[in-house]
Structure 1
């Protein structure tokens, strides 16, 4: 019985059966169970910041798991304190940190943090963006503006009003003195790597300031160098009230973080929230290795090369390119992203059909100029195969 059949027989069907079984990785390259090599331009959904088997990550994780692998939240340990301090240093603002295990858990913590504020202040509803994605647990899902994955699990415990992403006028109309918080992604990831218009986050900050609503920045995908900045909101010159992190922070190890700025960092009281595995020593050691290793200058340089290369491709199926840093989408003229993903795999490249007309390109942050050039050179033939 092959691995795909064993997977299908053992797992719930929510993922279907993935088309490729990966066996190992090194740098930006991975090999499937049959020995075929691919250049990885997915990076575990913008998670494997340092690629695969990076020496810094291997050393940090190995040393930590050989020292102490788990403590629970009944005890503190050096790696979690160092990581929290490091994040606060990079954020350069007064804040407090809560560690979780994933993005949805980080957003769940942010949801509870905001809810406590709202109930204290007598506020009643949230505002979030259409097509936004914040996770699949009930609190995070209630803030997710994708009806196909949301509606079947309602009703939800708190009212959420959805507005078109990037429309500052609609946001202003929706946010009143009764609004608890506004949840926004600096760029919408699962919607197809959709950046907002210039000035949108500044407007969101002003709207929240004028009404007393909290501004929550979901940077599960966009942070830790992915856009060429440690945090995408820094490029907009905006500080949120609450920030959520995950994915690239652990470089492939499970970790999430909810950061509360100023007064928001003191809303939780003892016993209000917790996590058995949150702040795990091994995951914190991995995150510290990521922060020590990511080179923002390299990210900016190779990201500019990737974007310029993609924009130079002329093909009837390619409409354009959007996104920020090493987090881009090739936008198509037809709903052929699944075919592009398949054709790219045939050519030895892993990309992601994030939307029917958009292909996500998010390589490890260590990707080289030569590897970027290889994808660009292969893209016309990939598109031609996908076009059928």
Structure 2
């Protein structure tokens, strides 16, 4: 048998992930330790999953207590963790009904089905999403995305689906009509390069919604659950969607997704029409309760405060390396630095300096720290970023 995890993985698993060359031993807070004992500062959070950081004591306790009662009984039964978490989400979101799934992609698929149910009742069949958006790699989600890497060789895709330019009011106006059933978007795109919807674009979208009567689906899988300093990023636009898609941070590290919607839309889903075996698993919901409680006990406020400090730090780095860092985007604990060179190069250099971050949209460094980060964490990240950029500059990295 091969000795290293990397060698063993190469022998038995699909080679579909671009894994970092780290063999994980344990993790706590914003720190990850590999099997050799090396420490890393984690500014990726499992891709925006570990909202409270790794091994949060309240999450561990909640999981342990729930595991002592039962692990899984199926959705044939009434379960306290599901119902309590639904109550918290309903209260804080201002919506009416919650459906639990296992992931963001699964939740988005359910949102498509819900929109189709509504659309068929109203004689509307066309759905619209936007370039740069990411909604998952399942079939329906792919039908509303435009990235060739995910779509090539997978077609044909679902009919009556359009993907149009993001933040383009003219393209939106030309695409929406009486047949429009729903418009789906990330108000803050993650894979799209930490790009936010312009206020004028959202104003136009809401005006068209009033004129043509379609559903608005907010994909808050990455930007939601307090990551940007509010429960959802769309809160900053003072609007209310018809359907909210949640996942990632809500499970505190366990697989959990949700569709949050209105009474009228939820009524369209008859018993047995939609469902999932594992959705709303008791352990994941127990962790989710802790996440929601901690958000409103100071964690979300910390994400805002430390997010401002992180943004100031990134801007300071930009000022120090103007040829390499061109723009800073995002807010809270979801930020990005637009580079003059491919960001994968910087991710590799950061890793050498004990910092974990992520490359997206070719030239954007994506930063997704836990919402519990401290000033010390930000300072360490800033120091590692400066050191990495200095090394790359000395090595003659392209300035674009």
Tell me the TM-score range normalised by the shorter chain.
Answer: over 0.9
SS of corresponding position for 1:330: strand
Q: Secondary structure at the match of 2:221?
A: coil
| Matched residue, 2:398 | none
1:377 to 383, 392, 395: 383
Q: For each residue in 1:21-57, what CA deviation from the matched residue of structure 2 results, as whole angstroms up to 9, or x when unmatched? A: 2111011101012211001000000110011111011
**Contact 2:308/2:331, CA 8 A, preserved across alignment:** no
Task: Please give the secondary structure, in 2, of the residue aligned with 1:279.
Answer: coil
Greater mean alpha carbon deviation, residues 10-19 or residues 368-377: 10-19
Q: Give the Cα separation in 1 of the matches to 2:115 and 2:230.
A: 26
Structure 2: distance between partners of 1:385 and 1:62:
45
2:198 corresponding residue in structure 1 = 197
Aligned to 2:368: 362
Distance 1:157 1:332 in 2: 36
- Which residue matches 1:160? 161
Normalising by structure 2, what TM-score?
Answer: 0.94
For residue 152 of structure 1, give the secondary structure of its aligned residue in structure 2.
coil
Alpha-carbon separation, structure 2, partners of 1:109 and 1:42: 27
Distance 2:189 2:326 in 1: 19
Q: Does 1:317 align with 2:324?
A: yes
Aligned with 1:382: secondary structure?
helix
Distance 1:136 1:293 in 2: 31
| Shift of residue 17, structure 1, vs aligned partner | 4.7
Equivalent pair of 1:84/1:97 in contact (CA under 8 Å): yes
Taking the aligned partners of 2:365 and 2:140, their CA distance within structure 1 comes to 28
SS at match of 2:188: coil
Determine which of 72, 83, 86 is the counterpart of 1:84.
Answer: 86
Partner SS, residue 45 of structure 1: helix
Query: Who is 1:132 aligned against?
Result: 133
Contact 2:52 2:370 in 1 (8 A): yes
1:108 to 2:109 alignment: yes
Could you tell me whether the CA contact under 8 Å between 1:134 and 1:141 is conserved in 2?
yes
1:310-332 deviations in Å (ceiling 9; x for gaps): 10112121112101211001110
Report what 2:208 is aligned to.
Answer: 207
Equivalent position SS for 1:97: strand
**SS of 2:50 mapped into structure 1:** coil
- Residue 44 of structure 2 corresponds to 42
In the alignment, the residues of structure 1 paired with residue 309 and residue 285 of structure 2 have an alpha-carbon distance, to the nearest angstrom, of 32
Deviations 1:178-207 (A, max 9, x none): 011101001111111111212433332221
Measure how far apart 1:173 and its partner are. 1.6
Q: Which residue of 2 aligns with 1:304?
A: 308
> After TM superposition, where is structure 1 displaced by more than 4 Å over at least 4 residues in a row?
none
RMSD (CA atoms) = 1.3
Q: Please tell me whether the aligned partners of residues 218 and 241 of structure 2 are also in contact (alpha carbons under 8 angstroms).
A: yes
How many residues end up aligned between the 2 structures?
386
Conserved? CA contact 1:96–1:266, under 8 Å? no
TM-score calculated relative to the size of structure 1: 0.97
Q: Deviations over 1:84-143 (max 9, x none)?
A: 1100100124x2111000000000100110111122222222111012110111111111
Counterpart-to-counterpart distance in 1, 2:246 and 2:315: 30
How much has 1:12 moved relative to structure 2? 0.9
